[in-house]
């Protein structure tokens, strides 16, 4: 059974060497996808004995992972492990991340930092953001994970072809969970450690979080159009009707016609009805598309 560690990297010359050296002790091969780095990331990775694929320009983690999975499919790899290049993840934990796949207990293993009874010293502002993103991911994918933004994961070869990689950026973590769940693969979690005191390239946490949340909302819209459009539409319709009754009440009580309230009531009602019908139509189309996919499978 061939196990490969895939490491997307962008300007990670500080830590990439040690990450590769430790990962090589637990896998058959280390693959580094240098995503347009301007430093010596690719050269150091080659010196450490990793297989290196270089992107001409920085395209994002989603694109780097797509390259890794396509390579793994071509090489007929059995298990692909993904981990970050900055040293936050501990490569010595690779055996426990791949173990559920080896024992046929899961198809995808998510390295989780927040499992019950397992604590990681995460900055509070990051923990709050991660909780929000995990909640949104769980709603979208209909799963129950504790850490949807983990980059330390293992995948069986059966899963390689289901990932769409529509999201080029950091939102790919949630997208992959959604794709795997939609395809019916079993996802489980194992505890991992994570360091936040390492040096390396970092992303603005607020910008990162908003980008990921936006991608999750897009996924939710595609998967649950009735909820996305229909529920807000229904709420607006109720508000519109309530304001319409208030307009009638004011007219009966005072004889004055509340033009502002009536216009708001009309707007809310029209937008609400439009939203509800849009949700119903898009939900019907999504159902038909899913039925066609199942019939062609």
More confident residue, 4 or 198: 4
Residue 38: the pLDDT is 96
Average pLDDT, the chain: 87
More confident residue, 130 or 270: 270
Does residue 165 surpass a pLDDT of 70? yes
Kindly state the percentage of the chain with pLDDT values over 70.
85
More confident residue, 254 or 125: 254
More confident residue, 122 or 45: 45
Instruction: Please write the tens of the pLDDT for every residue from 74-100.
Output: 999 999 999 999 999 999 999 999 999
Helix 172-182 / helix 205-223 crossing angle, nearest 10 deg: 30
Residues 137, 142, 147, 152, CA torsion sign = negative
| Least confident window among 105-119, 160-174, 209-223 | 209-223
More confident residue, 134 or 123: 134
Instruction: Please write the tens of the pLDDT for every residue from 192-237.
Output: 998 876 654 455 556 656 666 666 666 667 777 777 788 888 899 9
Residue 201: the pLDDT is 46
| Least confident window among 13-27, 115-129, 145-159, 253-267 | 115-129
């Amino acid at each position: 059974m061939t196990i490969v560690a895939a490491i997307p990297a962008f300007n990670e010359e500080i830590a990439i060497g040690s990450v590769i050296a430790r990962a090589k002790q637990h896998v058959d091969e280390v693959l580094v996808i240098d995503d347009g780095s301007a430093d010596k990331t690719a050269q150091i990775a080659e010196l450490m004995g990793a297989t290196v694929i270089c992107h001409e320009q920085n395209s994002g983690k989603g694109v780097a992972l797509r390259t890794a999975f396509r390579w793994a499919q071509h090489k007929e790899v059995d298990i692909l492990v993904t981990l970050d290049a900055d040293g936050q993840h501990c490569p010595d934990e690779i055996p426990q991340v791949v173990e559920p796949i080896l024992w046929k207990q899961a198809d995808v293993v998510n390295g989780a930092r927040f499992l019950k009874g397992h604590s990681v010293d995460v900055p509070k502002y990051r923990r709050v953001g991660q909780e929000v993103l995990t909640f949104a991911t769980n709603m979208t994918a209909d799963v129950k994970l504790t850490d949807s933004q983990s980059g330390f994961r293992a995948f069986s070869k059966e899963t390689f072809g289901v990932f769409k990689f529509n999201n080029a950026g950091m939102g790919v973590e949630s997208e992959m969970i959604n794709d795997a769940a939609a395809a019916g693969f079993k996802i489980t979690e194992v505890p991992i450690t994570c360091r936040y005191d390492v040096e390396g390239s970092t992303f603005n946490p607020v910008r990162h979080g908003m980008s990921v949340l936006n991608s999750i909302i897009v996924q939710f819209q595609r998967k649950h159009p009735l909820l996305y459009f229909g529920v807000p539409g229904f709420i607006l319709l109720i508000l519109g009707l309530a304001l319409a009754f208030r307009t009638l009440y004011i007219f009966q009580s005072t004889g004055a016609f509340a033009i502002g309230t009536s216009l708001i009531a009309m707007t809310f009602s029209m937008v609400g009805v439009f939203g509800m019908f849009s949700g119903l139509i898009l939900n019907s189309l999504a159902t038909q598309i899913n039925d066609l996919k199942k019939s062609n499978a």
